[in-house]
Amino acid sequence: MNSKSPETSPTNELHVDDVADGQRIDNYLFNKLKHLPKNQVYRLLRTGQIRVNKGRKKPVYRMKLGDIVRLPPSAIPAEPDQVRPINVPNQTVKLIKKAIIYEDNGLIVLNKPSGFAVHGGSGLSFGIIELLRTIYPAAPYLELVHRLDRDTSGCLMIAKKPSVLKQLHADLRGDGVEKCYLALLAGKWRRQGQIVNAPLKKNTLKSGERVVRVDPEGKASLTEFSLVEQFQRCCLVKAYPKTGRTHQIRVHAAHLNLPILGDDKYGNEVLDKEFRRHGLKRLFLHALSLKFVMPGTNKPMQVTAPLESSLEKVLENLREAHGKP
């Protein structure tokens, strides 16, 4: 009897079924090759040792029903179901458990703390998804539904079922999920609401750093902003990204000459130093809420992630020091 996984043939092939249809290949491989570090999976993809339908694919490639993924012998574990253990401090485990704001049999919503990447790689031994797999060792399935930047806090969805992941991915590609963020911008807001419709393109600098710029040749990107509270030298706004581009809110805010305070990539270093005296020590960008329809039930859902105390304190300090205009 063949002891390998049903999806793995003697020639080290994985056959994509309807569950994985539409899933990014990197996320698909992270689930199948849990014994490998994330950076090794990326290296195998980059060097062409992992192939799809005999061709190379980038990590963003979305799997299609019937695709055949060819793995090199080095990627096959001696025990297919063995998961590489990670050493996680108890304090970190407690922090992530406490950050769970919603859970049912198909979905987890986490109030992600700032400073945590959503997954390991690029020098990080673990991220949120690895932490959750450690917290839920018996869970048969845990996958990120979407991503947040490392320094951004707030609502992050993790699917506990392939069907939930597939439906929410489809909703995210359309207009089925409403995301609302809170951001503190440097400068004065000139109107109650504003829509930024500016295409975004990823660029790589000579230093190797990756940045996103407004560029006519970029991908269509749309963000709605509305004023929440105006201070003398900054403003608190809500941001509703209608597309899901990398660093979208951060770049669109900078495009308005109102960069997010604490943004070390697109912000204003001089202003950031000034606002540190008000207690701001991180990017002031928080995924406040998500509205969506729960897969399988058609039940309207809204989840809200409370603003962390350090950011609440910044707002209190600003109200005392700056006051209203």
- pLDDT-derived band of residue 6, with 50, 70 and 90 as boundaries? very low
Let me know if residue 3 belongs to a domain. no
* 200 and 100, same domain (yes or no): no
Let me know if residue 316 belongs to a domain. yes
Nearest Cα to Cα of residue 106 among 294, 299, 302: 294
* Residue 316 in this model has a pLDDT that exceeds 60: yes
- The span from the CA of 280 to the CA of 293, in Å, is 35
Determine the length of the chain.
Answer: 325
* 159 and 220, same domain (yes or no): no
The number of domains in the chain is 3
User: Of 169, 189, 206, which residue sits at a domain end?
Assistant: 169
H or E element that contains 129: helix 128-135
Q: Residue 262 burial by CB count (10 A; 0-12/13-18/19+): exposed, middle or buried?
A: buried
Let me know if residue 128 belongs to a domain. yes
Domain hosting 27: range is 13-75
| Residue 272 appears among annotated catalytic residues | no
pLDDT tens digits, residue range 242-296? 999 999 999 999 999 999 999 999 999 999 999 999 999 999 999 999 999 999 8
Do 307 and 182 touch, CB atoms closer than 8 A? yes
* 165 and 232, same domain (yes or no): no
- The span from the CA of 226 to the CA of 194, in Å, is 6
* 269 and 289, same domain (yes or no): yes
Nearest Cα to Cα of residue 262 among 283, 233, 286: 283
- The span from the CA of 131 to the CA of 170, in Å, is 26
What's residue 83's pLDDT? Answer: 45
Identify the weakest region by mean pLDDT among 21-25, 90-94, 165-169: 21-25
Domain containing residue 135: CATH number: 3.30.2350.10
Do 288 and 238 touch, CB atoms closer than 8 A? yes
* Residue 76 in this model has a pLDDT that exceeds 70: yes
Secondary structure letter of residue 315 according to DSSP: H
Active-site residue, from 67, 149, 151, 272: 149
* 66 and 96, same domain (yes or no): no
